[in-house]
Amino acid sequence: MVMKVYGSLVSSNVVRVLVCLEEAGAEYELVPIDFAAGEHKSPAHLARNPFGQVPVLQDGDLILFESRAISRYILRKHKSTCVDLLKVVNLQESALVDQWLEVEAQKYDPAVSPIVFQLLVLPMLGGVCDQAVVDAALPKLEKVLDVYEARLSKSKYLAGDSVTLADLSHVPLTYYFMGTPYASIMESYPNVKKWWEALMARPAMKKVAATLSTSA
Ligand code: GS8
């Protein structure tokens, strides 16, 4: 039975999971959840995720929520092709993957997501962008990018010289951010820009990006 991902492509957290499935070369089915109809809060979906959120992964009798936990599961399940993406064979290297994954979740995501939400998601839902929220988030994002720029001047990827889940986890929100008028701030971060271009050149990323552009 193929794995099912419940959610919609407008959710960056769903896209994080799709990126991992594509990297793993896994077969999957995307099962749409209609937010406008409140399907994410329906009894059927609350049985999958009591928080009423997407994504949810179903693999046989396993039902899993939280995109980063799902991502780790997919890469561990496909360890023959994905072992390097978690660097599981080396204790110190895998600790660095965990560290940068935490940075993505705790520092990068909170800085960039208000910008993406205000400029792209809200208008799509018929709302109006609150520029004050964007203006408050930008310096926070720049502070995080200062750290990334320094790190990426020493190694090609965040956890070392090969790509890992820590890098891939940045793809969804960065992809959406690059579609905002503030994408040009990346010009001030040449190493971050090079890192982003290397990520986007990956076949799995091209495939996900093509799906996102046709669904927009
Ligand atoms: C966040 C999921 C989430 O916020 C994860 O999976 O990483 N930490 C979780 N999902 C949003 C869609 S935006 O990606 C969601 O389902 N929102 C509906 C709601 O909160 O009611």
Residue range 131-159, pLDDT digits in tens: 999 999 999 999 999 999 999 999 999 99
Quote the pLDDT of residue 119: 97
Quote the pLDDT of residue 171: 97
Q: What is the band of 36 on the pLDDT scale with cuts at 50, 70, 90?
A: confident
Q: Say which amino acid occupies 170.
A: H
Confirm or reject: Cβ of 118 under 6 Å from ligand 1.
Answer: no
How far, in Å, CA of 180 to CA of 119, rounded? 7
Q: List the structure tokens of 195.
A: 């890192």
**CA of 187 relative to ligand 1 center, distance in Å:** 30
Quote the pLDDT of residue 71: 98
54 CA closest ligand 1 atom index = 16
Q: Count the residues in the chain.
A: 216
Confirm or reject: Cβ of 179 under 6 Å from ligand 1.
Answer: no
Question: Which fold would CATH assign to domain 3-83?
Answer: Glutaredoxin (3.40.30)
What percentage of the chain exceeds 90 in pLDDT?
89
* pLDDT tens digits, one per residue of 62-110: 999 999 999 999 999 998 888 799 998 999 999 999 999 999 999 999 9
CATH 3.40.30.10 in the chain is located at 3-83
pTM: 0.95
**CA of 91 relative to ligand 1 center, distance in Å:** 31
By the 10 Å C-beta count (0-12 exposed, 13-18 middle, 19+ buried), 165 is classed as buried
Confirm or reject: Cβ of 164 under 6 Å from ligand 1.
Answer: no
Confirm or reject: Cβ of 40 under 6 Å from ligand 1.
Answer: yes
How far, in Å, CA of 169 to CA of 159, rounded? 12
Q: Any bridge partners for residue 57, and if so which?
A: 5, 64
Q: Phi, psi at residue 147, to the nearest 5°? A: -65, -45
Quote the pLDDT of residue 46: 98
Higher pLDDT among residues 216 and 208, named by residue: 208
14 CA closest ligand 1 atom index = 14
Give me Rg for the CA atoms of the chain: 17
Residues 115 and 134: beta-carbon distance below 8 Å: yes
For ligand 1, atom 4, the nearest C-alpha belongs to 53
For ligand 1, atom 16, the nearest C-alpha belongs to 53
Residues 146 and 186: beta-carbon distance below 8 Å: no
CATH of domain 87-202: 1.20.1050.10
Minimal CA–CA distance to 25: which of 101, 80, 62, 65? 80
SS3 content of the chain, % helix, strand, coil (to 5): 65, 10, 25
If you average pLDDT over every residue of the chain, what do you get? 95
Q: Which of 10, 13, 34 to mutate to test the pocket of ligand 1 (most atoms within 8 A of CB)?
A: 13
Mean pLDDT confidence for 124-131: 92
Confirm or reject: Cβ of 12 under 6 Å from ligand 1.
Answer: yes
Confirm or reject: Cβ of 53 under 6 Å from ligand 1.
Answer: yes
- pLDDT above 60 for 191: yes
**CA of 54 relative to ligand 1 center, distance in Å:** 5
CATH 1.20.1050.10 in the chain is located at 87-202
- pLDDT above 70 for 16: yes
Quote the pLDDT of residue 215: 64
